[in-house]
Amino acid sequence: MAVVGVLALQGSYNEHLAALRRIGVRGVEVRKPEQLLGLDSLIIPGGESTTMAKLANYHNLFPALREFVSGGKPVWGTCAGLIFLANKAVGQKTGGQELVGGLDCTVHRNFFGSQLQSFETELSVPKLAEKEGGNDTCRGVFIRAPAILEVGSDVEILADCPVPANRPSIVISSGEGAEEEVYSKDRVIVAVRQGNILATAFHPELTSDSRWHRFFLDMDKESQAKALAALSLSSSS
Ligand code: GLN
């Protein structure tokens, strides 16, 4: 049975563990680099990415997290977890923050505004219906949420949503020498997959809909099947 690690430094890790329990999967809390060993996959939850980065630094987790992501095992970042996995984050008030990276995208940390602009909306996610049949809509819970401004060519877009009218104007790039650029599209990307990486700007663990967790578990099964196939190839050669 798959063992799914949940980064348990801060944020909604208990809710992810409960969501995993609901579908009969064992989740384990991860706070130290050595606890990543032996896991089949990892969830990086939502919370507050600056605080999470400080705690990750304190526990010397960044090198081990990067190794885990580049090792090819499935990793799912929700909200602050998505920010952690992005190759580039914009929208910080001060300086930069350390990121795990791996996901070829630019994310805006607080795209939808402040805590007061948190919202829920229906999202259309054809991939969820493709896997399980039934309805392709799911409830997106956006809490001081980030969004994905740009993706690289290897990134599959799973969901986007309309940009709410009450959102503050978002400056994509500014600062020394850079021209100020404002986000002007009327939709924005909120869920993507790139190989072993799944990322959602919203919080499926705060709903009773288990389809996202099952979707992630399927990525886990795919990756284990691949590892087994590679093993049997190498032992037969
Ligand atoms: N925008 C938050 C951040 O910068 C993330 C919010 C969340 O995870 N709910 O970390």
pLDDT tens digits, residue range 146-192? 999 999 999 999 999 999 887 777 766 655 555 567 788 999 999 99
Ligand 1 atom closest to the Cα of residue 143 is 9
The CB density around residue 14, as the number of other CB atoms within 10 Å, is: 14
Please count the residues of the chain: 237
Query: Residue 48 annotated as binding?
Result: yes
If one compares 197 and 229, the residue with the highest pLDDT of the two is: 197
What ipTM does this complex have?
0.95
State in Å: Cα 197 to ligand 1 middle: 18
pLDDT band at 218 (very low <50, low <70, confident <90, very high): very high
Active-site option among 15, 79, 108, 138: 79
Question: Does residue 79 carry a catalytic annotation?
Answer: yes
SS3 12: coil
Question: Does residue 108 carry a catalytic annotation?
Answer: no
Count of domains forming the chain: 1
Residues within a 6 A CB radius of ligand 1 = 46-49, 79-80, 83, 109-110, 143-146
Ligand 1 atom closest to the Cα of residue 142 is 9
The pLDDT, as a whole number, for residue 201 is 98
State in Å: Cα 202 to ligand 1 middle: 10
Range of lowest pLDDT (47-51, 143-147, 229-233): 229-233
The pLDDT, as a whole number, for residue 142 is 97
| Dist. CA 17–CA 186, nearest whole Å | 35
pLDDT band at 94 (very low <50, low <70, confident <90, very high): low
Indicate which CATH number applies to the domain containing 185. 3.40.50.880
Q: Indicate whether 224 pLDDT > 80.
A: no
Query: Residue 132 annotated as binding?
Result: no
Q: Quote the percentage of the chain above a pLDDT of 90.
A: 74
The pLDDT, as a whole number, for residue 49 is 93
| Dist. CA 189–CA 86, nearest whole Å | 13
Question: Does residue 203 carry a catalytic annotation?
Answer: yes
State in Å: Cα 180 to ligand 1 middle: 23
User: 83 and 56 in contact (C-beta within 8 Å)?
Assistant: no
Whether the model pTM is above 0.80:
yes
Residue 188: both structure tokens together = 């924005």
Cα dihedral 85→157→107→20 (10° resolution): -40
pLDDT band at 228 (very low <50, low <70, confident <90, very high): confident
10 Å CB burial of residue 55 (0-12, 13-18, 19+) is middle
Mean pLDDT across 103-128: 93
Mean pLDDT across 52-81: 97
Q: E strands of the chain, at which residues?
A: 3-7, 26-30, 41-44, 75-78, 86-90, 103-108, 119-124, 137-142, 147-151, 156-162, 171-173, 181-182, 187-194, 197-200
Residue linked to tokens 């987790």: 61
Quick one: DSSP state of residue 61?
-
Mean pLDDT across 16-29: 96
Where in the sequence is the domain holding 226, given as residue range(s)?
Answer: 3-236
